[in-house]
Chains A and B, each alone.
Chain A
Amino acid sequence: MKLDRLGASFQTRLSFMRRLIRHMHSEHWAISRTKFDLDKEGYGTAIYQVKTPNNYYSLVCFSHYLNPKERTDRVIAQNWDSTYTLFDGIPTERDIVRLAEQTVKQESGRFNATDLVLSRANKSLRLFENIVDKLAKGSQPDPYVLNSVGYLMRTTAVYANGKFGLADRSDYASRPELLPPYQLEMLTVYLIREFSLDLVDYLAACKAPNQAVKLDPILKRHLGMGNATGLGMAPFLVDHPILIHKWFEAREIALSRVLAVRKATPEKTNRFKMLLKRATQHLTEWNIEDYDQKQRISTMHSDMLSISQLISDSGGLESLLFPWNILLKKSEKILSIEGYELLVSLLMEPYPELVDELGEALHVEEKNSFDPGMKVATLLSTLNKHYDWALAIDFQDPDESEYFWYYSEEKLEPRRGRRTDETGVKNEMKISIARDIQDLHSALTKAEQHISLTYFLMSHPELRHITKRTQLAIHYPYSEIRGNMISNKCRPIDILRSKLAYFGASKFDPKSDLWTRITLAQGAPLRNELNIEDADDWCFPIVPKLF
């Protein structure tokens, strides 16, 4: 759970978008466009209705004119090309009127318990018009141009779980299709992707009704949904230690199951080799500007070739006992961190029967549990055992507390500022776990060792949050990110990447240490392809060939 390892994460079979697509496929969800009331410029309302075995969900889309001067994908924007609400059920005309009024306001709007997810997206200036123009002229866009961006629209926020009055997760978490985390958010992103693909076809047809063609489905499939994610997401992982434990424990269990496979069948090894080849090509097509990430991609490409070589040298994986364990052990010595993590992701792919069920248990029911009867000495011992990494940080060094985190008034979202440059330090968010651990350690050391935490906390109520958290570490070994969130060495993007990878993101495109662009659902089947046999075979997508 170190930051550099988290910052090298990749999507796996456990990722939430992968699970959603599998579930849609297995339950034969039907998605239909029930309204597409747009003008010739593409502004208006559209609705995508999802029919599951037990429920209906509807994405209500509002497409707007956006003044070019107001175009920014940062979360501080006030206007967007399009705004969305995922509605629980089928909205009435009255619902649509209400949502039209509230959805466009985004964070300033108020929502009902029928409203599940709120989002917005902007068109990709690099790609959207280019594709519309091509289609209007009757030709298909160059797949490599299309790959250079990978999406037509990019979301800048996807809100749920009670924000701005939206439905609480506890209202719907018992529905089987929504049991794993973030399924509604992923569904929303998936449906916005469908809207963006329909929109280019529609606009091209408006532009040249007699000449326009539709975007080839093969190309459509290679377009995902973009997303820009900044700091707001980072404190979430710190604030939800049990949830995070579940996610990373599941990953470790999945990997250990694969490594315990005694003999690999040719079917499994061939699948792995095919995916290794695909991932290697995927790396060559992962084109971004960031110099450091480019270097890492190049190293990973060499890593993948080294794995191929290891497989050749082994005389065939099928002949080995515990082949995957041997491969990972040998690779460990020669791969970069990111190459290693990519290999871990690939190793899980041939084994849905060992991995996928773990994806159904990644949620937690929130509980407020605390053992106030624990003795001070016991907690101190827990601290020494589980938090040595935090106790080793030197907070006398100003670099280790250069930053502080706070809630911005403007967007009600977490932000980071320099302790010396910005006001508001007194309202610092309590996410500096390592520093709080040191404070707790100091107080526990000075306290009478035989008393219980009840009495300790009567004297030290300010340490209650960190005391409770520390007790969790006994039962949840993957609950802590072993890094200092307020250090100038902390790269929040590492935290973002680990969460985004669990969402199922690919093509990480870091713009600084603080924010990144990503692509979700690139390669995933389209709404009319959900019943195809290989609906889950879309990870590490590569540029399609047009025939």
Chain B
Amino acid sequence: MRVSRNEVKTTIAKATVGVGLPLGIGEELGYSAQNILKYHSSSLVPFAKAFDAIEKNISSNFDLNQAFQGYFSAEKINTPLSALACVTSVCDLILDNHIKLSDSSTIHINNVDIPAIIIFQTLITSQNLDIKNCVSWTLHEKPSISGFSAQGCLTFTSGGLSDLLKACRTSLSIKIIRLSSQSNSIYLKYLTQKNTIEVDRNTWTCICKYAERLLIKATDESRLTGAGAGIIDTD
């Protein structure tokens, strides 16, 4: 079914809050989903899976002490790390390290449930980098999937988008690297905006289900006064 980019952004943000995560994270995920659909994939499946994993308590939040050291892993033993819960902190840390140290320190994310969520968000992070830099990432799958995010554009050096969309419960390492001028010309040509976004109806319904948790049913009282109108309001 066709949805608008604005619907994607607001629905993902609301769904994030609907599964109990903070609005600030939801807003960024909404922006990220809108961006990925705009330029790359038509699949919202990673978001739906990530919401389900939080909802069903399959995945958990990150261990704070380890995160301070640049290692993200689940706070609960033997559970995967929720990408939704850690994604903004991972991307903040990438940027923070880059600004503060101008170094290439690597961030490690262990056993993350849906790695695509983090890669999508690195596209946004890459827009805040100097054009000469990019976010390089590797999923430690067999075979490995790797690539870089530069100026909002996703480029694969091994594997492809379909592999990334399928990947789950894997480890991931991320660092900022200098981009060669040759790579620059490669990624820029891919950055073409899609005019229409078609998403899978079932996936969309699943995401909407979480978003709709924020809606409040009308009461007789709210029907009369909720929008501010009085009882006699025709002219």
A interface list, Cβ under 8 A from B: 71-76, 110, 112-113, 122, 124-126, 149, 154, 161-163, 165-171, 226, 228, 230-232, 366-373, 406-413, 415-417, 421-424, 427, 430, 452-455, 457-459, 461-468, 492-493, 511-515, 517
Contacts and interface: CB of A to CB of B under 8 A. Distances in A.
A108 to B, nearest CB: 14
A162 B217 CA distance: 24
Nearest to B21: A461
A50 B93 CA distance: 51
B6 A162 contact: yes
A73 B22 contact: no
Interface of B: 2-7, 14, 21-25, 27-28, 31, 62, 64, 67-68, 85, 88-89, 92-93, 95-96, 99-100, 124, 127-128, 195-196, 212-219, 221-223, 225-230, 233-235
Count chain A CB atoms within 10 A of each CB in B2, B27, B226, B230 and give the residue with the most. Answer: B226
Given A75-B227, A171-B195, A461 B22 contact: yes
Nearest to B18: A427
15 contacts: A168-B4, A366-B31, A370-B128, A373-B95, A373-B96, A406-B215, A408-B216, A410-B223, A415-B216, A415-B226, A423-B217, A423-B219, A457-B24, A458-B68, A511-B230
B39 to A, nearest CB: 12
A367 B28 CA distance: 10
Given A75-B227, A465-B27, A415 B222 contact: yes
B90 to A, nearest CB: 10
Contact of A167 (B4, B23, B127, B230): B4
Given A416-B226, A465-B23, A422 B219 contact: yes
B6 to A, nearest CB: 3
Given A373-B100, A407-B216, A421-B221, A465 B24 contact: yes
Q: Is the interface of B mostly helix, strand, loop or mixed?
A: helix
B3 A511 contact: no
Contact of B222 (A408, A412, A514): A408
Contacts of A407: 14, 214-216
B31 to A, nearest CB: 5
A427 B211 CA distance: 11
For the complex of A and B, 9 pairs with smallest distance between CB atoms: A464-B24, A514-B228, A162-B6, A162-B4, A424-B216, A372-B92, A515-B228, A465-B24, A230-B228
B216 A113 contact: no
A165 B4 contact: yes
A463 B96 CA distance: 18
